[in-house]
Amino acid sequence: MSGTSLDGIDAALVEFGGERAGPTKLLATHCQAYGKPLKTALLDLHHPANDELHRAQLAGNELARRYAAATAALLQKTGADPAQVRAIGCHGQTIRHRPDQGYTLQLGNAALLAELSGITVVSDFRSRDIAAGGQGAPLVPSFHDRAFRHPAIHRVIVNIGGISNLTDLPPGRATTGFDCGPGNLLMDAWIARHCGEPYDKDGAWAAGGKAVPALLGELLSEPFLHAAPPKSSGRDLFNLGWLEGKLHGDESPADVQATLLELTASAIRDSIQNRCTGAQEIYLCGGGAHNRALVQRLQATLPDCRIQATDTLGISADWLEAIAFAWLAQQAVLDRCANLPAATGARHPCILGAIYQA
């Protein structure tokens, strides 16, 4: 998995067993940072520029080589042979997500990855759902439904990556899910610009500032935040340009960071209060689960819900999304539909992913 935060590659080696979606065993994990040159190249591709098609293909090839190296390092940790792996589920790096225009684009050159790794690769998970009229996101609610649903407790799973998304698991009712709004990406971009740090550890910089009410009101007026699901978003909407268009220029950088944290917390809170009525337990995953200030703010604004990391349910908050895409790959090779139309808005269930045989 390489997500909207653009921080690197999360690779998980997973063995599935039985009828449940949860992993029988998480055998090994490996995290591999992108490094500044690749991250800069990928960020540049989010905006139209000269020769971008050529640069996108080169970036896709480089990503494939990085994915292959991450796969090799992962297998080395357990001594597993590539022949023992049924498939790699490779999400790829999103550089455009425009379901409103009928497409999404994730770079990664799955054919090259299959060649380099000697393992069958499943990729391009989102396009089939979009072809069926869906958003192509979020896709992990179908995994959450099988891994975390409880017969009597109303749970909500909140993934706080670059974008925040949630899965609503009400007992006796259908599972739904949608993107809430910005997660870490604006906070990460703002602290990188002003402090040279890749992220705000524990939310400490934000905690040292004060949210600006007028600015928060401007940010929360974004129509996406008030739109009814199904809905999904990404850097195409939420980016520094979007933020700068709402600044007056005299704000303290730390106060802006505090406001961005409040924006993320407010978008999640409003989504749960308005769309997940009766929620009892909230489980966090993704990088934002480690932002202490953000978690404290969520708990303060949702006092009736118990908020914990998904680790307490047996699946690591750091590795949940990589595990979910391993499961999506499994569903593809078994010819099983894996999208959740109630979450994506697709007209019907679909088998997700293109398969590149080793």
69/86 same-domain check: yes
Q: What residues contact 219, with CB distance under 8 A and at least 6 apart?
A: 243, 246, 259, 260, 263
User: 10 Å Cβ neighbour count for 340?
Assistant: 26
Report if residue 1 sits inside a domain. no
**Boundaries of domain holding 91:** 8-135+319-356
Q: Tell me what pLDDT residue 3 has.
A: 85
DSSP class of residue 228 equals P
- Per-residue pLDDT reduced to its tens digit, 55-69: 999 999 999 999 999
Strands lying side by side in the sheet with 306-309: 176-182, 163-169, 155-160, 281-285, 306-309
325/296 same-domain check: no
> Band of the pLDDT at 100, cuts 50, 70, 90?
very high
Report if residue 56 sits inside a domain. yes
What the block records as the tokens of 34 is 């992108």
Burial 190-211 (b: 16+ CB within 10 A, else e): bbeeeeeebbbeebebbbebeb
Report if residue 2 sits inside a domain. no
Report if residue 60 sits inside a domain. yes
**What Cα–Cα distance (Å) separates residue 271 from each residue in 51, 166, 287?**
40, 8, 19
112/203 same-domain check: no
> Band of the pLDDT at 25, cuts 50, 70, 90?
confident
**Total length of the chain:** 358
Q: Tell me what pLDDT residue 261 has.
A: 98
Q: What is the DSSP string of 35-72?
A: -HHHHHHHHHTTS--TTHHHHHHHHHHHHHHHHHHHHH
Report if residue 3 sits inside a domain. no
CA distance 149 to 23: 15
- Give the helix ranges, DSSP H, for the chain: 36-44, 52-78, 110-117, 127-131, 141-148, 185-195, 204-207, 213-220, 223-226, 240-244, 253-275, 292-301, 320-333, 341-344
155/15 same-domain check: no
19/122 same-domain check: yes
Three-class DSSP category at 207? helix
Q: What is the DSSP string of 126-183?
A: SHHHHHTTS-----THHHHHHHH--SSS-EEEEEESSEEEEEEE-TTS--EEEEEEE-
CA-wise closest residue to 345 among 232, 222, 233 = 232
Report if residue 295 sits inside a domain. yes
Which residue in this structure is represented by tokens 């908020």? 307
Q: What is the CATH number of the domain that holds 53?
A: 3.30.420.40
- Per-residue pLDDT reduced to its tens digit, 205-250: 999 999 999 999 999 999 999 999 999 999 999 999 999 999 999 9
Angle at 60 between CA 59 and CA 64, to 5 degrees: 115
Q: Tell me what pLDDT residue 351 has.
A: 98
Which residue in this structure is represented by tokens 């022949």? 83
Number of independent structural domains in the chain: 2
202/181 same-domain check: yes
334/308 same-domain check: no
Report if residue 238 sits inside a domain. yes
- Per-residue pLDDT reduced to its tens digit, 344-357: 999 999 999 999 99
Report if residue 125 sits inside a domain. yes
169/307 same-domain check: yes
- Of 313, 331, 346, which residue is a domain's last? 313
Q: Which helix (H) or strand (E) holds 13?
A: strand 8-16
Q: Tell me what pLDDT residue 72 has.
A: 98
Q: What is the mean pLDDT of the chain?
A: 95
Which residue in this structure is represented by tokens 């307490």? 312
59/108 same-domain check: yes
Say if residue 19's pLDDT is above 80: no
190/337 same-domain check: no
